[in-house]
Amino acid sequence: MTASSTRCSRNSPADAVSRAAEVLWRRWVLWGLRWVLFALLALCGQAQAANPAAIPDMRLEQTDEGLFLTAALEFELPTLAEDALRKGIPMYFVTEAELTRRRWYWYDQHIATEVRYLRLSYQPLTRRWRLNVSSEPFDSSGLGVALGQNFDDLADVRAAMQRIVRWKIAPAAAIDPQEQYQVQLRFRLDLSQLPRPLQIGALGRSGWNLSLARSLRWSPEPTQ
């Protein structure tokens, strides 16, 4: 009698209702999590659409002097980076072009690498932007040998940053007309140049992200 009563209590209607409620609750939780995930993905897609970053145009020109790169970049300054700029904190950017020779039997052979360093700053008192461009990294001692230009509007300075015109990326002697090559162009915001507190705060935050890259296969023109 006792065993029968125990079996009845384990399979009582109250237990069945409880289990059914638990299963229903789990389904509702999973359904809710899925909708939250879909919403987050939609927001990320909208943010990317609103702030496109790409290299739509990239061309190479071969002359007796070497190989020259012309390109157009498309990007918006990250929100947090623009806020820091308007508070007088300069931002640093790196443009890198790498030429490699393609090899089917091994890794591609490195031929040449050229780097440009950009320093963008804003003067709140004069409300003017200044862009410095150098072939050497900027350091705390000063700007070194760098070309500088002033702008009245952020859109104008951004347009200047987005244009690359006949940048020499390799000497003529480095190019073998019988080989095939690949050029990779990269552009990024250099977070390592930020003040230390901003570096720590920028880690993993999308409001600081800015990175573009594009590769182009290229074959030299036949020699006459």
pLDDT tens for 113-160 read 999 999 999 999 999 999 999 999 887 555 656 789 999 999 999 999
Predicted confidence at residue 192, as pLDDT, reads 84
d(CA 16, CA 117): 69
Reading the block at residue 157, the tokens are: 């300075």
Predicted confidence at residue 201, as pLDDT, reads 56
Predicted confidence at residue 170, as pLDDT, reads 97
- Mind listing the pLDDT tens digit for each residue in 61-82? 999 999 999 999 999 999 889 9
Predicted confidence at residue 17, as pLDDT, reads 57
For the CA atoms of 95, 154, 149, 147, the dihedral, rounded to the nearest 10 degrees, stands at: -10
Question: Which residues sit opposite 99 in a β-bridge?
Answer: 112, 183
Predicted confidence at residue 23, as pLDDT, reads 64
Q: Is 77 exposed, middle or buried (0-12, 13-18, 19+ CB in 10 A)?
A: buried
Predicted confidence at residue 117, as pLDDT, reads 95
Predicted confidence at residue 189, as pLDDT, reads 93
Predicted confidence at residue 1, as pLDDT, reads 46
Phi, psi dihedrals of residue 180, rounded to the nearest 5°: -115, 145
Q: Read off the pLDDT band of 9 (50, 70, 90).
A: very low
Question: Which residues sit opposite 188 in a β-bridge?
Answer: 94, 211
Predicted confidence at residue 39, as pLDDT, reads 46
d(CA 162, CA 155): 11
The average confidence (pLDDT) of the chain is 81
pLDDT above 70 for 174: yes
Predicted confidence at residue 44, as pLDDT, reads 45
Q: Read off the pLDDT band of 49 (50, 70, 90).
A: very low
Write out the DSSP string of 135-157: SS--BTTB--S-EEEEESSHHHH
Mean of pLDDT values over 195-202: 62
